[in-house]
Structure 1
Amino acid sequence: MARIGYHASHEQYDPRTLCDLARRAEAAGFGAIKCSDHIQPWSPRQGHSGHAWTWLGAAMATTTVPFGNIAAPGYRYHPAVMAQAAATLAQMFPGRFWVALGTGEALNEAMTGMVWPDKPERNARLRECFDVMHALLRGETVTHRGRVTAIEARLWSLPDAPPPLFGAAATEDTARWLGGWAEGLLTLGGDPANVARVIAAFREGGGEGKPVHVQHTISWAETEDRAMADALDQWAPVAIGGEINWDIRRPSDFDLLGRFVGPEHIGRSVRVSADPGLHRADLQAIADLGVDTIFVHNVGRDQQAFIDMAARELLGRGD
């Protein structure tokens, strides 16, 4: 059975609240935690965007479960600086930290003033960043001149074992490309048939035997109406699809997109239901694909009610 983890959404909660939620999630029985890494929220209504790497040190110091982060090197973060942060966490908390590397979104990365490239160029930059980070985390001195530059870079405080560098993929093509070099896969949940195709592509591309994590987004509340309202209020723009989410820069523009998403569309990106049994069945179906950890992200604002429900209905803690 896959481990069930809790997704800590920096866009939706201030860092102090999110640290408390991480402790509550562990106490409820969640076996792992991962966080998002944003400098802006998706919507002004969400209203938060704490520094993920700072938060990770505090959250991991007050819990005992493994943690992960998804971030985009090469824009806001130089890959050597990201490798230093990852090495520090892995040295302080041995065996408890991994990071997934993605190509990023303009929402978070374009603020540096760099030209925001198309997907093939972002892929090429990601691969260079991975190579730099991979070498640094193994104690090498790195000089690299390309889309990113590192001159005689070296990490002096290294963990006993380097943290795994996963690749993040939402599509079969990206997953297949990652399979040959990333040390694991982080992908999105949803329809188990779609998840299965992405995982199969990763394994076909060279990822056979490598760990797979899934971030599964849901909207659960006490009633169906509340669950639907929460999904549309907090996560509607993600259901638009295509490449548009990666190219928009302003939270206010995501709100404009969200106006075009109704109850008939939101299911593309969020599993909406007040029925814990349905969510439990979804988790089992994804677990049956041979994944290692499923991180559940409930987009609703009442996280304590969700954590309490999960302890009873999803994590086997009973009453």
Structure 2
Amino acid sequence: MVQIGFHASHEQVDPAKLLQAVRDAESVGFDGAMCSDHLAPWTRAQGESGYAWSWIGAALALTRFPIGLVTAPGQRYHPVITAQAAATLATMFPGRFWAALGSGEALNEHVTGAEWPDKERRDRRLRESAAVIRALIGGERVDHDGEVRVHEARIWSRPTAPPELLAAAVSPETAAEVTSWADGLITVGSDPAATAQTREAYRDAGGGGPLAVQIHVSLAGTDAEALALARDQWSHATAPAERTWDLEQPEDFEALADPTEEKLRSAVLISGSATALAEQIAQVALGYDRVYLHHVGVDQTAFLARCESELLPMLRRLL
């Protein structure tokens, strides 16, 4: 059975309100949740960015379903610190916490003042960080000198069973590359052909474990209202993809955005109809084990109400 999860967007919602939203998501029938781990929002209109690791501990304590986050070890976070944080959450909430590791974006990482590496070095740094994190959670004493440096580190509070360490990948090329260390894959997209290519690249390269996809959606009273919501809150997704990894400020994303209707609909599933939206989601999520829905609006209340009455029942039939 496909698990349907709720994405909690720290970039858009006050952490306290987001905490209530994830509790509401559980009560209306979602199977789990995930969140982003940002220092900055994508645009100034979003206007928030709470600390994900603090929030996720509270969210796990106030719910019963599994919750994970997408995080980038190696620059803003030293992998030893990521390992300690993940081990602590997995110890407190056995079987409920997971992390997806990605190579990151300059938007969040540039603040250290360190050089922002090219894609090849970022991928190498991610592989090294993943190995360090896994070894530390497994009880090993780690000394490492490469893209990241670790000196005789140990994690003392460790879970009985390690948390899942998924890989976060957008492109088929990255999906094929992470199979050497990942327990599973999470990607993001709204185009069925693109998500299928990423899924197949991971499996064809020998990748095992669960496949998850995060899908941005905008559901409102009418199609026009849903489009306006996407334009206000998620216009950064229309910036050229090849540029976005290296942008440092929300203003940079705003300057490159092209929020025409065609571009917005290529990045977000937009509809005033829950039935039509469910059908689109099912196409994008074909072949995936977990589907995480991110409603791009700031106010999650109306969306969650429609999830309970319309969207989730439809998706259960389609997925």
Q: What TM-score does the superposition give when structure 2 sets the normalisation length?
A: 0.96
**Equivalent of 2:301, from 293, 300, 304?**
304
* 1:293 partner amino acid: R
Give the 5 Å matches for 1:81-120: 81-120=81-120
**Retained in 1: the 8 A contact 2:192–2:285?**
no
Q: Give the Cα separation in 2 of the matches to 1:89 and 1:248.
A: 31
State the alpha-carbon separation in 2 of the partners of residues 169 and 227 from structure 1: 27
Q: How does 1:45-60 map to 2 (within 5 A)?
A: 45-60=45-60
Are 1:284 and 2:266 an aligned pair? Answer: no
**Number of the residue aligned with 2:239:** 240
Tell which deviates more after alignment, 280-289 or 56-65.
280-289
SS at match of 2:200: helix
Alpha-carbon shift at residue 286 of structure 1 (Å): 4.1
- 8 A Cα contact 2:213 2:285, kept in partner: no
Q: How far, CA to CA, are the matches of 2:64 and 2:95 in structure 1?
A: 11
Aligned equivalent of 1:216? 215
Partner letter of residue 284 of structure 1?
A: A
Question: Runs of 5+ in structure 1 lacking a partner?
Answer: none
Question: Structure 1: how far apart are the matches of 2:160 and 2:130?
Answer: 20
What is the rounded CA distance, in whole Å, between the counterparts of 1:139 and 1:243 in structure 2?
39
Q: Which amino acid aligns with 1:85?
A: A
Q: How far apart in 2 are the matches of 1:86 and 1:9?
A: 20
Who is 1:257 aligned against?
Answer: 256
Q: Is the 8 A contact 1:280 1:313 kept in 2?
A: no
Contact 2:223 2:272 in 1 (8 A): yes
**Secondary structure of 1:279's partner?**
helix
CA separation in 1, counterparts of 2:314 and 2:267? 28
Counterpart of 2:174 in 1: which secondary structure?
A: helix
| Matched AA of 1:128 | E
Aligned sequence identity (%): 48
What SS does structure 1 have at the residue aligned with 2:70?
A: strand
Corresponding residue number in structure 1 for 2:42:
42
Cα offsets for 1:51-85 (capped at 9, x unmatched) = 10000111110000000100100111000100100
- Structure 1: how far apart are the matches of 2:249 and 2:286? 38
Using the TM superposition, give the Cα deviation of residue 205 of structure 1 relative to its aligned residue in structure 2, in angstroms: 1.2
For 2:313, what is the secondary structure of its paired residue?
Answer: coil
Which of 290, 293, 306 is the matching residue for 1:293? 290
Alpha-carbon deviations, 1:203-222, whole Å to 9, x = none?
11121x41111101111111
Letter in 2 for 1:145: D
The aligned residue for residue 77 of structure 2 is 77
Distance 1:111 1:229 in 2: 32
Contact kept, 8 Å, 2:275 with 2:314, in 1: the verdict is no
8 Å contact from structure 2 (residues 83, 133) kept in 1: yes
Q: Is the 8 A contact 2:269 2:280 kept in 1?
A: no
Contact 2:5 2:33 in 1 (8 A): yes
Q: Distance in 2 between matches of 1:283 and 1:224?
A: 16
The aligned length equals 315
Shift of 1:317: 9.2
Distance 2:272 2:299 in 1: 13
Query: Deviation string for 1:190-237 (max 9, x for gaps)?
Result: 122211110000011121x41111101111111111111111111112
For residues 66-105 of structure 1, what are the alpha-carbon distances to aligned partners after superposition, in whole Å with 9 as ceiling and x for unaligned?
A: 0010010011100010010000100000000110001101
Matched, 1:226 2:225: yes
| CA displacement at 1:130 relative to structure 2 | 0.5
Tell me the TM-score normalised to structure 1 length.
0.96
One-letter identity of the residue aligned with 1:170: V
Contact 2:239 2:253 in 1 (8 A): no
Q: Deviations over 1:94-152 (max 9, x none)?
A: 00011000110110001100111111111011011011001011010100011111111
Runs (5+) with no aligned partner, structure 2:
none
Q: What secondary structure does 2:262 align onto?
A: coil
1:271 aligns with 2:263: no
* SS of 1:316 mapped into structure 2: helix
Question: What residue in structure 2 maps to residue 134 of structure 1?
Answer: 134
In 2, Cα distance between equivalents of 1:270 and 1:23: 24
Q: Equivalents in 1 of 2:227, 2:183: separation in Å?
A: 36
Q: How far off is 1:288 after superposition?
A: 3.5
Contact 1:139 1:155 in 2 (8 A): yes
Query: How far apart are residue 287 of structure 1 and its match?
Result: 4.4
Query: Which amino acid letter does the alignment assign opposite residue 24 of structure 1?
Result: D
Q: How far, CA to CA, are the matches of 1:236 and 1:161 in structure 2?
A: 40
State the alpha-carbon separation in 1 of the partners of residues 181 and 129 from structure 2: 12
- The Cα shift of 1:189 comes to 3.0
